[in-house]
């Protein structure tokens, strides 16, 4: 599986910046505002970020393998 460059860049930004920042944001505000399911939502956001990171990692390996 190789991702197109633009999709790779977007997914990398989402996995490395957007989702971790949103997980912290929700965790902090949820405690402040007593929102429900704080731990479950934060863990889910981080799990999605990890999955995206793994998928772009596979894409990078395949790209480098085909470039040789």
Q: How many domains does the chain have?
A: 1
Domain that holds residue 52: 5-67
The pLDDT value given to residue 64: 86
Q: Which pLDDT value is given to residue 52? A: 96
Tokens of 47: 């799990």
Q: What is the pTM of this model?
A: 0.84
Crossing angle of helices 5-13/38-67, nearest 10°? 150
Q: pLDDT 10s per residue in the chain (68 long)? A: 778 889 999 999 999 999 999 999 999 999 899 999 999 999 999 999 999 999 999 988 888 888 77
3-state DSSP percent of the chain in helix, strand and coil, to 5: 85, 0, 15
């Amino acid at each position: 599986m190789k991702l197109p460059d633009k999709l790779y860049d977007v997914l990398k930004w989402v996995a490395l910046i957007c989702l971790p920042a949103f997980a912290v944001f929700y965790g902090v505000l949820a405690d402040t505002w007593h929102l429900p399911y704080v731990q479950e939502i934060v863990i889910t956001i981080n799990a999605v970020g990890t999955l995206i990171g793994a998928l772009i990692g596979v894409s990078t390996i395949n790209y480098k393998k085909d470039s040789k």
